[in-house]
Homo-oligomer: A and B are copies of this chain.
Amino acid sequence: MTDDCPRSSCAINRTLEIIGDRWSMLIIRDIMFAGKRHFCELLACEESISSNILATRLKNLVAHGVLTKADDPSHKQKAVYSLTEQGLALLPLLAEMQQWGAAQLVPPSRRGVRSPGELTKLASELRAAHLGRSPRRLDPRAPRRRGAAR
């Protein structure tokens, strides 16, 4: 996964080599849909990620330009993780994963698939929050979006 020498020239294989493990995708999910930006927030994952796996995957995602890591101006001892343009470009892929997975879950009431319009709005919000001036959520009083991502 962290190998910088692709095993083939296939674009799908390249995606899988960079983010094709379950934990990396769950980390990106939590940053994208739950507004998580700090290590401790990402550690509080419903699927119980371990701290060493989280640290390894974050390092890999930063190394591959999917995330950036910076000092958090509001918490001097904390680092804040942000999506890059490359990371933001994963939104349609996550949306497809969500749509396919929702069809596998029962009961159907759990299906919470976003419409194209909702995705465009979310992409715009993520762009402002991650590439804009504020490293935090646009409105910290707003409820987290995790529920809507399920």
Give A residues with C-beta under 8 Å from B: 1, 6-18, 20-22, 25-26, 29, 46-48, 64, 86, 89-90, 92-94, 96-105, 110-113, 149-150
Chain A, interface SS category = helix
Known: A20-B22, A89-B103, A93-B93. A11 touches B48 (CB 8 A): no
Closest to A6 in B: B105
Contact of A13 among B20, B26, B90, B113 (CB under 8 A): B26
How close is A77's CB to chain B, nearest CB, in angstroms?
Answer: 30
Give chain B residues whose Cβ lies under 8 Å from the Cβ of A26. 12-13, 16
A9 touches B93 (CB 8 A): no
Give chain B residues whose Cβ lies under 8 Å from the Cβ of A94. 12
Q: How many copies does the complex hold?
A: 2
Known: A18-B104, A25-B16, A105-B6. A11 touches B98 (CB 8 A): yes
| Complex CA–CA separation, A115 to B65 (angstroms) | 26
**Cross-chain pairs A/B with CB under 8 angstroms, 29 sampled:** A6-B105, A7-B46, A7-B48, A10-B29, A10-B46, A10-B149, A11-B98, A11-B111, A11-B112, A11-B113, A11-B149, A12-B26, A12-B29, A12-B94, A12-B98, A12-B149, A13-B29, A13-B47, A13-B101, A14-B105, A15-B97, A15-B98, A16-B26, A20-B22, A20-B25, A86-B103, A92-B99, A93-B97, A93-B100
